[in-house]
């Protein structure tokens, strides 16, 4: 089964890693037809304010993934989730390490948004994961995936390396699996270390890809950000599932 072009765009989440609304505008206006969402993160949220950032994307025709990474006691996560989901975002997220009660609180307040659970940050190696969680990253991701389901979340943020671990487990079949660290063969790796191409990640089970610099700053041979997004959509559409 191949992926239809309109479904391919839904799977592409563009990382809007900028620190000012004026820098965001050209990307939103150019890329809205080609991406499912604009992921706004801690940089833009703290630079201009989360409501302002969300409204800016919505006003310019985009949809929003609020990469707010909530990590607090359940009551505070509940309140923040209520406020963020009411802004009209499509996705927002909570750290699994906040605990199952915080995930449940976020899920109860998610409204029409989809709740994603951040598992083990890909910047943590096994030594760091052992130190923080007492388990390797792979083992802890499985624990967090179970908690995401029990807590009523819609999906996970995970590295492409974990997709093959999660894929065969029937309980995780319906979870969204949102994966950063994606690099088309034509892009430079930047500071991403363990990358997969869009095609590899989709075939390994990713439902959505977070991609920033290969689109915002593509190599000259690819062309503009629109050309880069189109090339990635073609690659996604070429996947056989
Ligand atoms: O530019 P690039 O494609 O590397 O952007 C990836 C986006 O995904 C960035 O916003 C980055 O912060 C985010 N991210 C990541 N790795 C994680 C979690 C989030 O690259 N483990």
pLDDT tops 90 at residue 6: no
3 state SS of 218: coil
Q: How far apart are CA 25 and CA 9, in angstroms?
A: 19
- Residue 179 burial (10 A CB sphere; 0-12, 13-18, 19+): buried
Q: Domains of the chain by range and CATH?
A: 9-237 (3.20.20.70)
Nearest alpha carbon, ligand 1 atom 16: 180
Residue 196 main-chain phi, psi, to 5 deg: -130, 155
Q: Can you tell me the mean pLDDT for 139-160?
A: 96
- CA–centroid distance, 220 to ligand 1, in Å, is 22
SS3 state at 125: coil
Q: How far is CA 222 from each of CA 187, 215, 230, 232, 238, rounded to the nearest angstrom?
A: 9, 10, 10, 11, 18
Give the tens place of pLDDT for each residue, 57-107: 999 999 999 999 999 999 999 999 999 999 999 999 999 999 999 999 999
How far is residue 94 CA from its own chain's centroid? 12
Record the pTM.
Answer: 0.96
Q: Give the list of residues 6+ apart from residue 131 with CB closer than 8 angstroms, or none.
A: none
Q: Most distant CA pair in the chain: distance in Å?
A: 50
69 is catalytic: yes
Q: Which of 12, 15, 71 should be mutated for ligand 1, with most atoms under 8 A from CB?
A: 15
208 φψ region: left (φ > 0), alpha (ψ -120 to 50), beta (else): beta
Model pLDDT for residues 93-148, shown as the tens digit of each residue: 999 999 999 999 999 999 999 999 999 898 888 899 999 999 999 999 999 999 99
């Amino acid at each position: 089964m191949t992926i239809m072009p309109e479904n391919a765009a839904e799977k592409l989440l563009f990382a809007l890693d900028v620190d000012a609304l004026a820098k965001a505008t050209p990307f939103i206006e150019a890329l809205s037809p080609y991406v499912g969402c604009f992921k706004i993160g801690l940089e833009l949220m703290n630079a201009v304010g989360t409501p302002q950032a969300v409204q800016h994307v919505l006003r310019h025709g985009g949809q929003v993934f609020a990469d707010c990474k909530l990590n607090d006691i359940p009551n505070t996560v509940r309140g923040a989730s209520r406020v963020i989901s009411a802004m009209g975002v499509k996705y927002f997220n909570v750290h699994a390490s906040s605990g199952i009660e915080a995930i449940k609180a976020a899920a109860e307040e998610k409204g029409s948004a989809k709740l994603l659970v951040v598992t083990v940050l890909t910047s943590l190696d096994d030594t760091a994961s052992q130190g923080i969680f007492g388990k390797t990253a792979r083992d802890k991701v499985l624990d967090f995936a179970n908690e995401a389901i029990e807590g009523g979340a819609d999906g996970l943020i995970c590295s492409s390396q974990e997709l093959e671990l999660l894929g065969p487990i029937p309980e995780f079949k319906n979870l969204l699996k949102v994966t950063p660290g994606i690099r088309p063969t034509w892009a430079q790796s930047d500071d991403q270390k363990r990358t997969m191409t869009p095609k590899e990640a989709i075939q390994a089970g990713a439902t959505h890809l977070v991609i920033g610099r290969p689109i915002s700053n593509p190599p000259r041979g690819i062309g503009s950000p629109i050309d880069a997004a189109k090339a990635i959509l073609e690659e996604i559409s070429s996947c056989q599932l």
